[in-house]
C-alpha cells in the first residue's frame, strides 16, 4: 500500500507523520509526503527534527509540492486538515475516492484537523507529535485489519 501524507508546507506535520509511520517498518507499506504550498527542497522544521530525534525516529526529508504522479502512485491520500482535503480535491477531483483527512480515516472524531505547530514552541511540536503518534497507531491497526 502506498500512503501519501499532505499538509501545507511539508515541513512539520506530513513529514512527521511519514517518519512515524516509516519507523513502524510495516511490510509492503510505502510512504511519501508533500505540501499544498510546499517550496521544493526546504528542510524539515527545526522543532520537528528535535522532536523526532528525542523519540529516536530517523528521517530524511526535504519538502515537496504535490504532484499528479505521486497522487496516482498513492493508494491512500491522508491530509492533515479538512482544508487541505478541500484544496486538493478542487484541483484533483479524480482522487476523491482515496482522499481523507487523517482523523476522518482513523478515528470517529468530529474534529478533523491535526494541530499545526508551525511557528510554535517545542512543546507545541511535542503535542503535534503525540497526536500524530496516536493517529499512526490507529492507522497501523486499520491497515493490519484490512
Spatial separation of the C-alpha atoms in residues 108 and 105, rounded to whole Å? 8
- Give the count of beta carbons closer than 10 Å to the beta carbon of residue 86: 12
Q: Express the helix, strand and coil content of the chain in percent, nearest 5 each.
A: 50, 15, 35
Q: How far is CA 127 from the centre of its chain?
A: 15
| Cell of residue 39, nine digits | 517550496
Specify whether 7 is catalytic: yes
User: Are 32 and 69 within 8 A, CB to CB?
Assistant: no
Spatial separation of the C-alpha atoms in residues 96 and 43, rounded to whole Å? 29
Specify whether 113 is catalytic: no
Catalytic residue among 7, 60, 113, 121: 7
* Selection from 34, 16, 29 nearest residue 99 by Cα: 34
Catalytic residue among 13, 113, 121, 126: 13
Catalytic residue among 113, 116, 126, 137: 116
Task: Give me the active site residues, please.
Answer: 7, 13, 116
Amino acid at each position: 500500500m502506498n500512503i501519501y501524507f499532505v499538509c501545507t508546507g511539508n515541513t512539520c506535520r506530513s513529514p512527521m507523520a511519514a517518519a512515524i509511520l516509516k519507523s513502524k517498518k510495516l511490510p509492503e507499506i510505502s510512504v511519501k509526503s508533500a505540501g499544498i504550498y510546499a517550496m521544493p527542497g526546504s528542510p524539515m522544521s527545526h522543532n520537528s527534527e528535535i522532536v523526532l530525534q528525542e523519540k529516536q525516529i530517523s528521517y530524511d526529508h526535504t519538502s515537496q509540492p504535490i504532484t499528479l504522479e505521486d497522487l496516482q502512485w498513492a493508494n491512500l491520500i491522508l491530509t492533515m486538515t479538512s482544508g487541505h482535503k478541500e484544496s486538493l480535491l478542487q484541483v484533483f477531483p479524480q482522487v476523491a475516492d482515496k482522499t481523507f483527512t487523517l482523523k476522518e480515516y482513523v478515528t470517529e472524531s468530529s474534529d478533523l484537523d491535526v494541530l499545526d505547530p508551525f511557528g510554535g514552541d517545542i512543546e507545541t511540536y511535542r503535542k503535534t507529535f503525540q497526536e500524530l503518534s496516536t493517529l499512526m497507531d490507529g492507522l497501523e491497526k486499520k491497515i493490519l485489519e484490512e
